[in-house]
A and B are shown apart, each in its own frame.
Chain A
Amino acid sequence: MNDWQMKSPLDWETYVNKRVKVAAAEKNEYEGWALTVDPVSANVVLANFPENGRVSIVVVLGHAVQEVDVLQEADDEMKARLSCIFAPEESKAYSP
């Protein structure tokens, strides 16, 4: 197990809702807003918002994570946007 997989859920939680850069195995690098870290596999779920209006999700597997750097903290608007990406249909907020 690598250092990332050995962290505790409270450690992983500190990365949620932050823009992070993940250095992975074989010199792969990924950047995005951290949505969650799976506490079982340590997989990191990143979200990006490309111009086409869709949501681009990248998941880096825990065993391949070498380093995670925090780049930026999300503002309230971004936090709300991130929280509804995987929300079930019935709990989605609708504008009046």
Chain B
Amino acid sequence: SSPRFQALLGTGAAGGGHPKTSSPPQAARAALRLRYLRSLGAMRGLPVSFTLHEGGRVGAVVAAADAPPLAFQVDALRTPLGLQAAALLRCSDIIAYAFEM
């Protein structure tokens, strides 16, 4: 029931068989996802500012993200309670994040 599966299903139903990787929705998905993954790659090792729910703001150096992404693994997380050497930030707690390159 994930968006990815639904998109795949939609393509397959329209094509009446195996989804074609070159069909317009799939080509759009691939191009959009490629750019997003490159943005994740570009963010690695940079200081990133996170806007969290309930007005929280924290800064950290991003080390890694999982595939969807559901969480970011960060180093040097600056919080109102002090500095955390390493932490996991759940994406469901984040509204936006920003960095410069």
Contact = CB atoms under 8 A, between A and B. Distances in A.
Interface of A: 1, 5, 8-10, 12-13, 16, 24-26, 28, 30, 35-43, 45, 50, 54-61, 63-64, 85-88
Contacts, number: 110
Among A1, A12, A41, find the residue whose CB has the most chain B CB atoms closer than 10 A.
Answer: A41
Interface string B4-25: 1001001000000000000011
Given A61-B91, A88-B38, A38 B33 contact: yes
A54 B101 contact: yes
B100 A5 contact: no
A50 B28 CA distance: 29
B contacts with A: majority SS: helix
Contact of B98 (A1, A57, A87): A57
Contacts of A64: 94-96
A44 to B, nearest CB: 9
